[in-house]
Structure 1
Amino acid sequence: MSKTSQRELGESDSPIEDALEDAFQRQLTEGTQRLHRSWREVLITGFFGGTEVAMGVLAYLSVLNATGNQLLAGLAFSIGFLALLLGRSELFTEGFLVPVTTVAAKRASVRQLLKLWSGTLAANLVGGWVIMWLIMAGFPKLHAQTVESASHFATAGLSRETVVLALLGGMAITLMTRMQHGTDSVPGKIAAAVAGAFLLAGLQMFHSILDSLLIFGALITGDAPFGYLDWLGWFGYTVVGNIVGGLALVTLLRLLRSKDRLQEERSDAEAESE
Structure 2
Amino acid sequence: MAEHPIVATNAPEEHEPEVEEAFDRLVSEGKDRLGRPLLPLVSTGLLGGIDIGTGILAMLLVLHATGSHLLAGLAFSIGFVALLLARSELFTENFLVPVTAVVAREGTLRSLARLWGMTLLLNLVGGWIVMWLLVTSFPSLHETVLEAGTHFGTMPIGLRSFCLAVLAGVVITLMTRMQHGTESTGVRIVPAILFGALLAGGQLFHSVLDSLLMFGALIVGAPFGYLDWLARLGWAALGNLAGGLLLVTAVRLLRVTHRIEEAHREKG
Q: TM-score range by the shorter chain?
A: over 0.9
Q: Which residue of 2 aligns with 1:5?
A: none
2:169 paired with 1:154: no
Please give the secondary structure, in 2, of the residue aligned with 1:90.
coil
Pairwise mapping of residues 46-65 of structure 1 onto structure 2 (< 5 A)? 46-65=45-64
Instruction: Flag structure 1 segments of 5+ consecutive residues without an equivalent.
Output: 1-11
Q: Which residue of 2 aligns with 1:240?
A: 238
Letter in 2 for 1:266: H
Distance 1:120 1:32 in 2: 16
CA offsets 1:229-250 (integer angstroms, 9 cap, x no match) = 1111111111111011100010
The size of the alignment, in residue pairs, is 257
Distance 1:43 1:119 in 2: 7
CA offsets 1:61-93 (integer angstroms, 9 cap, x no match) = 000000111111101001110111011112100
Q: Which residue of 1 aligns with 2:71?
A: 72
RMSD over equivalenced CA pairs, Å: 1.4
Q: Which residue of 2 aligns with 1:122?
A: 121
Distance 1:166 1:27 in 2: 24
Distance 2:194 2:156 in 1: 28
Q: Which residue of 1 aligns with 2:256?
A: 258
Letter in 2 for 1:259: T
Distance 2:27 2:160 in 1: 35
Tell me if the contact between 1:75 and 1:194 (Cα under 8 Å) persists in the aligned partners: yes
Picking from 253, 265, 268, the partner of 2:266 is 268
- How far 1:266 sits from its partner (Å)? 1.6
Letter in 1 for 2:166: L
Letter in 2 for 1:203: G
- How far 1:220 sits from its partner (Å)? 1.0
Tell me if the contact between 1:39 and 1:119 (Cα under 8 Å) persists in the aligned partners: no
Structure 1 residue runs of 4 or more that deviate by more than 2 Å after TM superposition: none
Please give the secondary structure, in 2, of the residue aligned with 1:184.
coil
- How far 1:268 sits from its partner (Å)? 1.3
Q: Which residue of 2 aligns with 1:35?
A: 34
- Over alpha carbons, which structure has the higher Rg? 2
- How far 1:13 sits from its partner (Å)? 4.5
TM-score (norm 2): 0.93
CA offsets 1:202-246 (integer angstroms, 9 cap, x no match) = 00000000000000011111x211111111111111111101110
- How far 1:185 sits from its partner (Å)? 2.3
Q: Which residue of 2 aligns with 1:8?
A: none
- How far 1:187 sits from its partner (Å)? 2.3
Q: Which residue of 1 aligns with 2:171?
A: 172
Instruction: Flag structure 2 segments of 5+ consecutive residues without an equivalent.
Output: 1-12
Letter in 2 for 1:68: G
